[in-house]
Amino acid sequence: MKSTNNRILATSIFLLFMFSLIVVRLLFLQVWNYQKLQNLVNAQVVQTKVQNSIRGTIYDRNQHVLAMNVKSYSISANSNLIEDKKEFSDKLSKCSGLNSAEIYKQISRKSGFSWIKRQYQSDKYDDLENLKMKGLNIQKTVNRYYPCKDLTAQLVGVVGIDGQGLSGIELYYDSLVKREKVVEVFNRDGMRNALRMSSLNGLKSPDIVLFIDSTLQYIAGRELESAMKKTRAESGFIIMQNPKNGEILAVASYPNFNPNTDKIKTENLVNPAIHKVFEPGSTFKIVTAAAALTERKYKPDDIIYCENGSFKYQDIEVNDHEKYGYLSMDGLMAYSSNIGFAKVGMALGREKIYYWMKQFGFGNYTGSNFPGEQMGIVFNPFSSKWSSVSGLTISFGQGICVTGLQMINAYSAIANGGKLYEPQIVKSVIDDNDNMVFDSEPRLIREVISTDVSEKLKKMLNDVVEIGTGQLANVEGYSVCGKTGTAQKIDPKTKHYSTSKYIASFCGFLPMEDPQITILVVLDEPKTSYWASDVACPVFSRIAKESMNYLNIPKKEKKYDITKLSY
């Protein structure tokens, strides 16, 4: 009996001990070591993904959408789980509209995982969401869509496959807006494949409003495309600006592209108005004239001998397109005499020419903050790059490289009475609660010239359009100020100026009495005629006429004072 009791006691003690061990083990697993084990489980069946929040919408100044988000799908597959690849391909093709052969090709690759289509837009959303097949993963995403298509492509820019800005305002957006990170959690199956994911419910980044006016952008884009086809130019661009405050109203370029397609090349992302430089030719003569008037080297009615069309200086020969004898300073601008402006440049000297180029913003960034903006090429007058004839040729726009943004900014300074503003593209940034994160204000760089000099230059530029080289830029009912530019291009083979390749441009503003808009037209290598008076001026005139109608600027009777320009 005693031995039996001992056995029962021993068994009880053993069972109690074992139960205690189990309890301790359970406490260890479920209490003390719970978090570690939970993390191990999550690592096997749960996956987290950190990504940027959804990009905001980009609007023009009138709240017209330029860039927006649309619903899309990213479709992938794990071929190791697919039993019948042909049947899988056919079913997915029927529901998605994708090519069955292409799907089969993708899932037949050696690696188990493969993307079938990323950021796919389809009207068969319900069919896709209800499709359940082994190995198929459908992830809801958002894709960028541009309603204006090619009209604003190079200005607004594009984003990459992972939503990062690649060019234009889309790239600028990434530096302007702090985009929060979104952590997304979803389950995985036994093969560690992501199970079907729900739509993103993450943070939405602020919206951006531009100063661009879609109507003016349309006018500029349509007229540029028409001019390109008519003149068979290699490329071209048009910029429109409010001269009163520096706001950029339109930037059209050609060739362009449709940012909603997949076939985007690196060269498509270049905006020639901002990313490229060119020799301006005679449009640059406003700088020389402004310097001469401000430095009191010349007055508008001073007479200069233009050598009857040919002027030799050291080892170069300067020619005019027409033979002129004596012209007033006004006449030099109206008839675009290179010889006359060369003599003005000689009177100013290299230091003054350089000073006034920099004063007007050439050789510096404009302050637009547009990604990839160029500074242009302006050589120091005491460097080896500045030859004994540089001051002479720069005076009529040869030997200096500028951007379109710099050029239109200089003309706007003359239009508004002498104030050089930073050209602005972004108007405001607004968050989800309609709070203003950023609100742009006009940013004055400096007062370049006096109001008196500005008025004299306006009269000279009005002469260009009324009786000079820019007569085809005239707009009925408005006094137009502007200047033609026909610049020879450097031949990359010979390293000398080409006799067949030119850049034709016209930059001007209107109305003269109270300028409302500045317009720059640039055509690169037009084939029908290389003279700006023939190809660039008519484009300006058509754009200016429609812009005045759209902006509701009333016409006024012209009161042009005929001034004697030649002697």
- For residue 113, what pLDDT is reported? 77
The CA distances from residue 428 to 52, 97, 173, 210, in Å, are 21, 40, 11, 7
Residue (of 227, 217, 155, 293) closest to 506 by Cα position = 227
The pLDDT of residue 201: 47
What the block records as the tokens of 100 is 């069955």
**Pairing verdict, β 58-59 and 207-210:** parallel
Residue 389 tokens, joined: 């004839």
One-letter amino acid at 289 equals A
SS3 at position 219: helix
What is the DSSP annotation of 463-520?
A: HHHHHSTTGGG-BTTB--EEEEEEEEEEPTTTSSEEEEEEEEEEEEEE-SSS--EEEE
Residues 114/77, Cβ–Cβ less than 8 Å: yes
Place of tokens 């016209």: 506
What fold characterizes domain 214-256+274-550?
Beta-lactamase (3.40.710)
- The amino acid present at 57, given as its one-letter code, is T
Give the residue among 131, 127, 136 at the shortest CA–CA distance from 84: 136
The pLDDT value given to residue 496: 85
Give CA angle at 398 (392, 402), nearest 5°: 125
Cα(6)–Cα(17) distance, integer angstroms: 16
Using alpha carbons, select from 399, 364, 421 the residue that is nearest to residue 278.
399
Counting as low any pLDDT under 70, the low residues of the chain are 1-6, 9, 14, 17, 23-24, 26-53, 110-111, 122-130, 177-203, 262, 562, 564, 567
CATH of domain 61-96+104-188+198-205: 3.90.1310.10
Is the bond preceding residue 243 a cis peptide, omega within 30 degrees?
A: no
User: Residue 53 is encoded by which pair of tokens?
Assistant: 């929040």
Q: What is the pLDDT of residue 48?
A: 54
Q: Which of 556, 463, 469, 561 lies closest to 513 in space, CA to CA?
A: 556
- Using alpha carbons, select from 390, 320, 312, 379 the residue that is nearest to residue 349: 390
Tens digits of residue pLDDT in 206-261: 899 999 999 999 999 999 999 999 999 999 999 999 999 999 999 999 999 999 88
Domain boundaries, the chain: 61-96+104-188+198-205, 214-256+274-550
